[in-house]
């Protein structure tokens, strides 16, 4: 893999243009959203952890709603055009299957996926590829030269999307 | 003064949780020793309060594979307990319980997973029961659940659970050593903030 690699932490976002890759590791119930404008080769990768900001938390990228909105704003500021933007999403797993009883944890991965899709739909951005759910973690990267996203998991072939 | 964020805890409060961890891990080590029939010792527990990425980095690379047993706590201490095992520790357990040796995580079959899950359950139950006896608490536990996967993905579970109230993860980390070898297994207690306040009050360290 040529060029430099940017690493996105948990509740974080990075964007880049033309070359190199952006990667985020081991998405569990979290979701990675790769947004890309092929015309100007501008891409962003967001790593959200929760569906919705319900307080005044300054860490906006932790949440699907505030994190995606801020990412859209940044992308447009860098010249992205909404109709050209596409989204690829991965993550939203349920790492532990809690048997019986009511769990305070719920299925946060599924709620994350629903919110991410809703926010993207409201903005009018197409989701072209998706690899969400199941019970395993995913490492996700986007190649800024062409928008190709790679999803790496344990014990399964790498997914190119 | 009530704690609103994990990082608000002062030295006295941190000492209390280190001590709680020590009592819990001590009891858990005894239980593990009985299950395995070997000497199990413990390291002095650490209390860490770190940002998400730092908390993961403190335990390895986010893509490192671990087997983790999770139990959810309710009642007086809400939160979760996680028992995280690396390959050599898993082999030490499997060798004694099911007579198996695995070379990598893909070889953990149903029988092995079930043995690890049960060991985790025993360790976690002994840990929690030591604490509840100490402070006269009621802490019902969920059925254990095992996940064999990437470290980062496993830790995203407690992060998401407390994510709305904290940007940091508080872990009371205990480590076991099996026999005379340096096989480390991490036992993590992750209480929510409300439970921290409850415990500090209950143990008489809240107002100073």
Residues paired with A5 in a beta bridge = A21
| pLDDT for B207 beyond 60 | no
Q: Taking Cα atoms as reference points, which of B207, B195, B185 lies closest to residue B17?
A: B195
CB-CB contact of B174 with B97 (8 Å) = no
- Expressed as residue numbers, the domain containing A11 is 5-160
B55 CA to chain A: closest CA distance, Å? 11
Q: Does A7 touch chain B (CB under 8 A)?
A: no
User: Which whole number is the average pLDDT over A32-58?
Assistant: 94
Place of tokens 């999403």: A89
- Domain total of chain A: 1
Closest-CA residue of chain B to A11: B52
Is B143 within 8 Å of A98 when comparing Cβ atoms? yes
Q: Does A157 touch chain B (CB under 8 A)?
A: no
| pLDDT for B182 beyond 80 | no
| pLDDT for B161 beyond 80 | yes
CA distances B75 to A49, A55, B22, B89, Å, are 26, 25, 21, 31
Is A57 within 8 Å of B142 when comparing Cβ atoms? no
Give the CATH number for residue A153. 3.30.1330.200
pLDDT at residue B206, as a whole number: 63
* Residue % of chain A over a pLDDT of 90: 86
Spatial separation of the C-alpha atoms in residues B45 and B128, rounded to whole Å: 15
| pLDDT for A1 beyond 70 | no
Handedness of CA A119, A120, A121, A124 (dihedral sign): positive
Spatial separation of the C-alpha atoms in residues B192 and A7, rounded to whole Å: 29
pLDDT at residue A65, as a whole number: 96
A82 CA to chain B: closest CA distance, Å? 30
User: Model confidence at B8, in pLDDT bands (50, 70, 90)?
Assistant: confident
CATH architecture, domain B6-202: 3-Layer(aba) Sandwich (3.40)
pLDDT at residue A131, as a whole number: 97
User: Model confidence at B113, in pLDDT bands (50, 70, 90)?
Assistant: very high
Dihedral (Cα; A24, A126, A131, B71), 10-degree rounding: 70
β-strand pairing of A86-91 with B145-150: unpaired
Q: Taking Cα atoms as reference points, which of A46, A52, A49 lies closest to residue A13?
A: A46
B5 CA to chain A: closest CA distance, Å? 12
Question: What residues in chain B have their Cβ under 8 A from chain A's Cβ atoms?
Answer: 52-53, 56, 61-63, 65, 70, 72, 74, 78, 80, 105-106, 142-143, 145-147, 149-157, 159-161, 163-164, 167
Which alpha helices (DSSP H) does chain B contain, by range?
A: 11-36, 52-57, 87-97, 110-135, 151-162, 193-202
Cα separation of the two ends of chain A: 16
| pLDDT for A112 beyond 90 | yes
User: Which whole number is the average pLDDT over B140-168?
Assistant: 92
Closest-CA residue of chain B to A136: B149
| DSSP calls for A34-103 | EEEETTTTEEEEEEE-BS---S--S-GGGBHHHHHHHHHHHHHHTT--GGG-EEEEEE----S---SS--
Collect all residues of chain B within an 8 Å Cβ-Cβ radius of residue A32.
none
Q: ipTM of this predicted complex?
A: 0.91
CB nearest A137 (choices: B146, B153, B164): B153
Report which of residues A55 and B81 the model is more confident about: B81
Residue A151 tokens, joined: 């999803």
The H or E element containing residue A142 is strand A138-143
Looking at every residue in chain A, the average pLDDT score rounds to: 94
Residues paired with A87 in a beta bridge = A35, A127
Could you list the active site residues of A? 30
pLDDT at residue A119, as a whole number: 98
pLDDT at residue B167, as a whole number: 85
pLDDT tens, position by position, A65-109: 999 999 999 999 999 999 999 999 999 999 998 876 556 667 899
A40 CA to chain B: closest CA distance, Å? 31
Q: Which of B67, B148, B163 to mutate to test the interface with A (most CBs of A within 10 A)?
A: B163
User: Model confidence at B1, in pLDDT bands (50, 70, 90)?
Assistant: low
pLDDT tens, position by position, B52-71: 999 999 889 999 999 999 99
Is A154 within 8 Å of B150 when comparing Cβ atoms? yes
| pLDDT for A57 beyond 70 | yes
Looking at every residue in chain B, the average pLDDT score rounds to: 88
CB nearest A139 (choices: B63, B142, B163): B63
Q: Which of A104, A133, A136, A150 to mutate to test the interface with B (most CBs of B within 10 A)?
A: A104
User: Model confidence at B103, in pLDDT bands (50, 70, 90)?
Assistant: very high
CB-CB contact of A53 with A114 (8 Å) = no
User: Which whole number is the average pLDDT over A133-150?
Assistant: 97
Is A54 within 8 Å of B155 when comparing Cβ atoms? no
User: Which whole number is the average pLDDT over B32-55?
Assistant: 88
* Residue % of chain B over a pLDDT of 70: 98
User: Which whole number is the average pLDDT over A34-38?
Assistant: 98
């Amino acid at each position: 893999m040529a060029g430099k690699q940017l690493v996105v932490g948990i509740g974080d976002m990075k964007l880049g243009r033309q070359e190199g890759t952006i990667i985020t590791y081991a998405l569990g119930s979290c979701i990675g959203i790769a947004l890309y404008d092929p015309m100007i080769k501008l891409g962003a990768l967001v790593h959200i952890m929760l569906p919705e900001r319900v307080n005044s938390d300054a860490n906006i990228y932790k949440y699907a709603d505030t994190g995606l909105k801020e990412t859209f704003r940044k992308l447009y500021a860098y010249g992205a055009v909404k109709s050209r933007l596409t989204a690829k999403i991965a993550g939203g797993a349920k790492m532990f299957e809690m048997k019986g009883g009511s769990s305070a944890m719920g299925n946060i991965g599924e709620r994350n996926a629903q919110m991410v899709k809703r926010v993207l739909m409201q903005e009018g951005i197409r989701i072209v590829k998706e690899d969400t759910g199941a019970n395993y973690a995913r490492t996700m990267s986007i190649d800024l030269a062409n928008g190709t996203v790679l999803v790496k998991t344990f014990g399964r072939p790498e997914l190119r999307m | 003064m009530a704690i609103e964020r994990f990082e608000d805890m002062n030295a006295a409060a941190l000492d209390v949780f280190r001590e709680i961890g020590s009592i819990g891990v001590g009891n858990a080590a005894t239980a593990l020793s009985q299950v395995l029939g070997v000497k199990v010792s413990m390291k002095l527990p650490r209390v860490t309060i770190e940002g998400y990425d730092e908390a993961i980095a403190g335990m390895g690379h986010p893509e490192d594979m671990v087997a983790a047993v999770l139990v959810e706590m309710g009642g007086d201490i809400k939160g979760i307990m996680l028992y995280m095992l690396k390959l050599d520790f898993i082999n030490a357990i499997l060798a004694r319980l099911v007579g198996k040796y695995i070379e990598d995580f893909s070889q953990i079959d149903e029988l092995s997973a079930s043995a690890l899950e049960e060991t985790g359950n025993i360790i976690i139950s002994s840990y929690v029961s030591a604490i509840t006896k100490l402070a006269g608490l009621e802490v019902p536990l969920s059925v254990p659940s095992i996940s064999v996967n990437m470290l980062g993905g496993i830790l995203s579970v407690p992060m998401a659970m407390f994510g709305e109230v904290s940007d940091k993860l508080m872990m009371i980390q205990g480590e076991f050593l099996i026999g005379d070898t340096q096989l480390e297994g991490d036992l993590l207690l992750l209480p929510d903030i409300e439970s921290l306040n409850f415990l500090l009050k209950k143990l008489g360290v809240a107002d100073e």
